[in-house]
A and B are shown apart, each in its own frame.
Chain A
Amino acid sequence: MQATKSFERAFLRQLLRVFRLSAVSYKSMSLQERKSAIKLSADVAMASARGSRKWTRGLIAKLSEEDEHRSFLRLILGTEYERLTKPCHGSWKIPRSKKIVRRSLRVCSRRKNNLRAPHGVKSSVLARTLVEKRTHALKRLVPGGESLDGYSLLDEALDYVISLRAQADLMQKLLTTFEASKLSALSKCTLPERKASFVGK
């Protein structure tokens, strides 16, 4: 599975746009501040490029927790911000009657106990706990994952991994590009020299 080109393009566009917008203020920041600003911009760019998914909403919600970030986000995303932050209709919980759920759980557990021959140590219980622990860990990692059930958690995790990977790759390429252009752009040289040096490179 790979990230689509349109996603990459949109991501790059957003990121470059943010860089340009904030280039001036970058000069007055310390390294740490710049790093968190860039990380914030990269996350916002990724979320807006991906569109409307549960993890993008969760990510933007997490980033909006601070007021300062919120105004920044609103600036970058524009009208999309409102759309992304209002609750998604897809997260309706299917209305379940407690009595029925309880009864079915009882039936299921009884059936499980009857079908599988009872061992001394319930290996299934152990296996389930291990999986549960890891599921909780995954829920914490994937933005917005806390409220997802097993299947959608895996779905969002899949999407999230693809996007993260694309983000890392694009940032890497951006970095090498910047470093390359920095090396070849001697600050004092005039334009024709710069051009010559670039072409020569």
Chain B
Amino acid sequence: MGSAGSYGVGTGNSGAYMTEIAEPIRFDEEIRSLIQARFDAPPVSGGSFTALLGLSANQAVGLLHEPGAGEVSASAAASSPTGLGHPLGWSPTFPSNAGLAERAASFPVFAAADSPASSSGGGPSPQLKAEPSDSDSSPPLPVPIDKPRRPAKRKDCEKQKAKGPAKKLKTAEEHTEDDQLPYVHVRARRGQATDSHSLAERARREKINARMKLLQELVPGCSKITGTALVLDEIINHVQSLQRQVEFLSMRLAAVTPRIDFGGLDSFLMAECGPLAASNGRGEVALDPVSWSSDPAPGTGQRTDLRPSQQSSTAWVYPYGLINHGTSLFGYGAANSVPLNSNQSKTDL
């Protein structure tokens, strides 16, 4: 497939971090593993549903993921289609989001993907608690706190002579202020005013210039340009081109999607793993989002066969090594189904 590198913008830089799955084939396998991992997810033990799956109730129950078991079956039993209207013409009996929300709350969040051992129902709450504090402290720079800065600046002003020969070297007295207060230490240069207003302005300008520099590094071809306006021009162009790219890609995906047999995609995985019966039409099953976590494993008595072979294939397919293969099949399968805010991702940036 030659189109992998066809979009010039941005793919040059990004090639670096996706080296493991640079080729479509590898990526293909990753997707398959994601979809495939659902087979290990606990099927809901609603009676009629397991009959639909062709699983015996015992097998279904036996495969239930422990923490999610109670809530999942409860929500499955309790959920009733509330007829949510999908914006673009979904079937009106689309099942309620209440059950989904419950399951979402109960499942260990995707954060569990990194720490699959913590696949307990209590997972979400520490993650959720961590989130507000993270968003509080999100600016990565040492945040200049306004109040302590003012008195410190006045001290600076007194020490440096106004309009004077304030040198660029740090003096011993000013070292102490650095240690005590978390503010951006601004040096007055020769011939520049040193009162608090201009110091504040200069601090602000330096912060902004730091961000601009980062953006310059990010946008290709921007490091040579000098001047704020031109750099901003480039940034704007870059953002617009990325947005257009996303739209174009979604158009192409829309062209491909109806012909994609998502059920067939699953049967790929099954075929890859072992001699299993072909999956039933995934499309019909997909209607019920409660089924999402359960994701029916086609083939009746073959779950046990599936797991060891899946284990090896997921080990092979998922080269990140971040997912602990031993425990991941359940944890990942469960986490795969209900996405919640991945709290670690936003601090990683």
Cβ-neighbour of A17 out of B31, B114, B260, B339 (below 8 A):
B339
The answer to whether A78 and B204 touch (CB under 8 A), given A24-B283, A177-B27, is no
Q: Count A/B pairs, Cβ under 8 Å.
A: 338
Are B31 and A177 in touch, CB under 8 angstroms? yes
Closest CB-CB distance, A17 to chain B, in whole Å? 6
Are A178 and B86 in touch, CB under 8 angstroms? no
Q: Tell me the A1-30 residues at the B interface (CB within 8 Å).
A: 1-10, 12-14, 16-17, 19-29
The distance in angstroms between the C-alpha atoms of A172 and B21, with both chains bound, is 12
The distance in angstroms between the C-alpha atoms of A137 and B218, with both chains bound, is 19
Are B345 and A51 in touch, CB under 8 angstroms? yes
Are A191 and B212 in touch, CB under 8 angstroms? no
Are B239 and A157 in touch, CB under 8 angstroms? yes
Q: Tell me the A78-104 residues at the B interface (CB within 8 Å).
A: 78-80, 83, 88, 90, 94, 104
The interface bits of chain A over 163-201 (1 if a CB of B lies within 8 angstroms of the residue's CB, else 0) are: 011111101111111111110010100011011001101
Is residue B25 within 8 Å, beta carbon to beta carbon, of the partner chain?
Answer: yes
Considering only CB atoms and an 8 Å cut-off, how many residues of chain A contact the other chain?
109
The distance in angstroms between the C-alpha atoms of A9 and B343, with both chains bound, is 13
B10 to A, closest residue via Cβ: A165
B90 to A, closest residue via Cβ: A25
Please report B residues at the A interface, Cβ cutoff 8 Å.
Answer: 1, 3-4, 7, 10-11, 13-14, 16-18, 21, 24-25, 27-28, 30-31, 34-35, 84-91, 94, 97, 100-101, 104-105, 110, 113-114, 128, 131, 134-136, 138-139, 146, 193, 197-198, 201, 204, 207-208, 211-212, 214-215, 217-219, 228-229, 232-233, 235-236, 238-240, 242-243, 245-247, 249-262, 264-265, 267-268, 270-272, 277-278, 282-284, 286-287, 289, 292, 320, 322, 335-346, 348-349
